[in-house]
Every structure is written in structure tokens, then in C-alpha cells.
Structure 1
Amino acid sequence: MAFIQTDTFTVRGYECDAFGRMSIPALMNLMQESANRNAIDYGIGISDLAERGFGWMLMRFRLRMHEYPRYGQTIRVMTYPTEVEKYFIYRDFQVLAEDGTLLADAASTWLVFSMEKRSMVSLPDFIRRLSPPTDLPKTTVAPIGKLSSRPIFQSADFNPTHTKDIEVGWLSIDQNQHVNNVAYVEWLLEAMRTETLKTRKLAEIDLVYRTESHWQDQLQIQSVIESPQAFLHRILHPESGKDVLLARSLWC
């Protein structure tokens, strides 16, 4: 069977920023919650994979904000898988107001890793047999579509102009025993310049997750201005020089 997950949430005060807008990490957490519920319906939830020695890992995520939800507003989060390949499964999201206005949308790419070897594996048969829905909800905005595994910004020259060091805390670790993907976004946004946070809004963020990190790891967040509206970001293990995450953000 094919499933489209739809969940209704009311934006709470602690999910909002200083301007009463829903924060990006809070929104992404709700989207992830809906994705988890959808995965459970398909029999591919976190516990279903854990029983077989596997875990989910997010590889790519691109979020577009069209209109920010605000405190007290009721929103609908919809999510569904769109395609299954040998190594990757693709999932889309829509965030809607009560009147059907598209507030945000996103596309994502997921992989499965071995909990024992901590390395990527091909999707098990019980996942590859999944049937994505065909009668997808219509929107006035063209969907993002399948994300490239190597976006252009990933190979752009990167000479950081701003850095911030961070130690991974216990509350950033999820059930897969590595840093939750939303925690990286929160760190990245917290490292933005004060003027940007106070005077502008994030319009889009495109993320490439490269490798996992764990409790008490020492990480460095780096950023550089690409254009008046865009920034490039990088989170890495400074000792090894390995990239944990690469990103590009657009602000309005």
C-alpha cells in the first residue's frame, strides 16, 4: 500500500523565534516527526530498521520557506516517499496553512547504514518493495524534484570568513547514536551574524550531510558570503579536516 502522511499542529510559543515566527529547527522537527510516522505505516520506521541492525541517515535536504507560520497558527505537514532506488529513498514535504496556502516545501534523500559497521549499505528488500503514492497533492508551486547528490555549491571555493567552535552535547544525539540532522541546522543558524538574524529571514537552505558525528565531538562551523543574499556553510571535524555538513542558505 501507499501512504501520504498528514499531521496537524498548532505552533507553540517555544517553537517561535524573537519575532513570533516559527523557527526553522522547530519546523524541521515537525517535518521529521511526520516522516517518522509515515515510515512506521510503511513498516520501515526506526525500530523496524533497528531490529535488523540498520538505521536511517539523511543525506540531502532542501527547504524552501514561502511564508513563515506564526505563533498560534494551525498548520498541516504532509510527507510521502517519491522514489526508491538501490541506495536511496526520496521523500517530499509540504507545509500548509488551514486554507491550503503553501507555507513551505522540502525535498530529501535518505540512505540506510549498518549499525555495526557504521557504513552505508544498499536498501534492504523490505524497503525497496515500498510503493510510493501516485496521486500526489497539487500545489501552485512546482515541486523541488529529486535532489542532486553533488550540488554545484559543494565544489565551490570555500575560504571561511567566520568560524565558531562547538562541542556536541548529549541532547543532540538521537536513537541512531549520532547527531540528529536538525541539530546541525540549529548550530549553523546560531553561528550567523547578528545583523543577518535580526534584519533578514531565511528563504531557503540546501544541505549535504557528509558523515556522522557523536557525543563530545569537537566541531567547527564555518561560513562565507557568496552574494548579498546567499551564504555558504561548512561544519567539519577540525582535527581530521573531514566535512560533516555542507550547506547553502538564501536570505531575504
Structure 2
Amino acid sequence: MNRSVAEKEYEVNYYEIDYKERLLITSLVNYFGDIATKHSENVGGGLSYSRKNGVAWVLYKWNIDIKHYPEYGQKIRVRTNACSFRKFYGYRTFEVFDKEDNMIAKANSIWLLIDTNKRKILRITEDMYKIFGLTEKDNKPLLIKNVKLPKKFTIEKSFNVRYSDIDTNKHVNNVKYIDWILETIPLNIILEYNIKHINITYEKEALYGEKIKIFTELKKQDEGYISLHKIIDNNGKELSVIEAIWDANEK
């Protein structure tokens, strides 16, 4: 058994879809978070281990490509592979398959192990190598490009961090940042286009009660748009930078 790989089947529920009856991108990323957590639980490095040892995995970068959004009631398989560790970084891939075994989405991700008491980054521990069945030779990094932001933004919106935004690490769940940027996109683009690619870097955690501000810039491109986003806290510190590529809805 390959301890670094896990797979789970999901059925697309009504509360996970948009008006087109297709899976929301936030629901898909929630599947990724769920299977990653389930994987950790299966191999003995889950929530109880994290509480006992005062550690947690936090997301640093996403690079997600979506070929096709599944529809309401469809069943899909999500596979994840904790493929390598390198110093402070954990690298994990995701693949999504439909019932005909066609790959409909994939993602690369980079994670950091933190001390939950000191809120500091830790070097990957020997325990983690053993838990996921990896060795120090499994050290190939996943390269995710940096988001290049524009000099000016034309859209700006503010939010207060709510209790429902907080996860088990006591900070804003990574999926909420996608929710936030979607609120800055004009409705006609939301209705007529889908996100086919999204690249996210999380630079600083956001906590309950903070006021955050999102800056968004849209650029027309071929048959779609590129949206660029910067999220800052009330002290002006950068929390996240995001790039999304939008294509016309599937027929």
C-alpha cells in the first residue's frame, strides 16, 4: 500500500452547485481539503495527532486547473498524493476523475508545517516522513509561479472576518479567500464565464474579527478574462495574491 496516496468518491450535492447546476469551484477546493485531511487521518497524522503534538499543515500555494465542472448528482473520484517534502515545504498533488475515468481537474499545492502554539514554521519532522511513507530522497519540489500583480486596481471591496470563516487552525480557511474574490467580480462575468485556472499564494493568516480589503483588476483576454487580486488586512499587510483565468461557459 502506498501511504502517500489516498482516494475518495464524492457525489455532487445540491448545496455544492451554482445556478448552472455545476459544482462550485469553492466546493471542489473543499473536496481537496477534505481528502487531504482524510488522508492524514488514514495514516495517523490527522487532527488528534496535530492537537497532541501542537502542529498543523497550512496551505502556502495552490495551482488548480479545471477542464470540466461536474454537474449535480454526478459522482467523481478525487485522488491525492503527498509526493515529497523539502526542508519546510510539503508538496501534494490532486487529480479529479469522472465515472469514465477522464481527468476533469488537477491541482498542485505547497504546504507548510507550523507550530500551532508559537505560530511559527517548522522544518518537516521525521514523524511526517514516517507517517506518509516518504524518505529524504522524496524531495522533488512542485514549482508554482508567483502571481504578478498590476500597478493599479479598479475594484475594491472590504469584508469583516466572520466566525464561519474560521477553520480548525483558528484562522481563515483557505477556501474563503476564493469566496471573497468572487464577490468582487461583476455578475455578468460570474454568469457567463467559468474559472478554468486559479493560482493562489497565502502570505499571512487572517483571524476572526479582522477587517480585510480586496483589490481586483480585470483584463479581457481572447474568449475570456484574467482577474488579479490582492487581499490585505486592516494594517495594510498582504494576506494573499490570486490570479484566475475565466473562459466562456461550457455548452
Same fold (TM over 0.5): yes
Residue identity opposite 2:142 in structure 1: K
Residue in structure 2 matched with residue 142 of structure 1 by the alignment: none
Residue in structure 2 matched with residue 41 of structure 1 by the alignment: 42
8 A Cα contact 2:147 2:199, kept in partner: no
Residue in structure 2 matched with residue 90 of structure 1 by the alignment: 91
Q: Over aligned residues, Cα RMSD in angstroms?
A: 1.7
8 A Cα contact 1:38 1:80, kept in partner: no
Alignment of 1:224-239 (within 5 A): 224-228=217-221, 229-237=225-233, 239=234
Which one has a larger percent strand, Structure 1 or Structure 2?
Answer: 2
* Local SS of the residue matching 1:51: helix
Distance 2:51 2:60 in 1: 19
8 A Cα contact 1:2 1:132, kept in partner: no
Residue in structure 2 matched with residue 213 of structure 1 by the alignment: 206
* Alignment partner of 1:195 is 2:195: no
Number of corresponding residues: 237
Sequence identity, in percent? 27
* Alignment partner of 1:184 is 2:182: no
Distance 2:227 2:143 in 1: 19
Residue identity opposite 2:55 in structure 1: F
Distance 1:184 1:19 in 2: 22
Structure 1: segments with no counterpart, 5+ residues: 134-144
After TM superposition, the score normalised by the length of structure 2 is 0.89
User: For each residue in 1:211-251, what CA deviation from the matched residue of structure 2 results, as whole angstroms up to 9, or x when unmatched?
Assistant: 101111100111112442211111111x3211111110001
Residue identity opposite 2:16 in structure 1: E
* Local SS of the residue matching 2:176: helix
Alignment of 1:4-153 (within 5 A): 4-129=5-130, 130-132=132-134, 146-148=142-144, 151-153=145-147
User: For each residue in 1:9-62, what CA deviation from the matched residue of structure 2 results, as whole angstroms up to 9, or x when unmatched?
Assistant: 111111000111100111111111111111122322232122111121100011
Distance 1:241 1:61 in 2: 23
* Local SS of the residue matching 2:30: helix
Distance 2:114 2:74 in 1: 37
Residue identity opposite 1:80 in structure 2: N
Question: How far has the Cα of 1:114 moved from its partner?
Answer: 1.3
Residue identity opposite 2:236 in structure 1: G
Residue identity opposite 2:211 in structure 1: Q
Structure 2: segments with no counterpart, 5+ residues: 136-140
Distance 1:22 1:70 in 2: 6
Structure-2 change in CA distance of 1:158 and 1:48 (3 Å): farther
Q: 1:241 aligns with which of 223, 230, 236?
A: 236
8 A Cα contact 1:68 1:103, kept in partner: yes
Distance 2:236 2:205 in 1: 14
Distance 1:158 1:227 in 2: 17
Distance 2:44 2:89 in 1: 17
User: For each residue in 1:64-103, what CA deviation from the matched residue of structure 2 results, as whole angstroms up to 9, or x when unmatched?
Assistant: 1101110011111111111111101100001110110111
Residue identity opposite 1:162 in structure 2: I
Q: 1:159 aligns with which of 152, 156, 171?
A: 152
* Local SS of the residue matching 2:147: helix
8 A Cα contact 1:46 1:56, kept in partner: no
* Local SS of the residue matching 1:59: strand
